[in-house]
């Protein structure tokens, strides 16, 4: 229950805290500068969290369109 509360607080704070941007500052991947605020790019798909198989892990990466994504990386067979 404590983990859920911490996650909820983190989510609320991340949504409420908008990044400011201007000509010198760049927005993070997946965001674009509009009216001085970094907002989500509509051409980037929502980040999905695929369920990795045992021995695999999720790794974040930035695709060719500068959109954040997750991919499953598995250990090579020994």
In tens, the pLDDT along 1-47 reads 676 666 666 655 565 556 788 777 788 888 989 888 988 889 988 87
The residue that leads in pLDDT, 44 or 78, is 44
C-alpha 4/C-alpha 1 separation (Å) is 5
On whether the CB atoms of residues 70 and 50 are closer than 8 A, the answer is yes
Closest CA to 66 of 20, 21, 30, 40: 30
pTM: 0.56
Q: Identify how many contiguous H helices and E strands the chain contains and give both numbers.
A: 1, 4
Q: Where are the domains of the chain?
A: 15-74
On whether the CB atoms of residues 68 and 29 are closer than 8 A, the answer is yes
């Amino acid at each position: 229950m404590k983990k859920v509360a911490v996650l909820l607080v983190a989510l609320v704070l991340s949504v409420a805290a908008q990044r400011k941007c201007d000509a010198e500052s760049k927005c993070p991947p997946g965001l674009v500068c509009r009216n001085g605020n970094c907002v989500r790019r509509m051409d980037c798909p929502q980040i999905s969290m695929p369920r990795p198989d045992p021995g695999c892990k999720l790794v974040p990466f930035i695709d060719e369109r500068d959109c954040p994504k997750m991919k499953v990386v598995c250990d090579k067979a020994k």
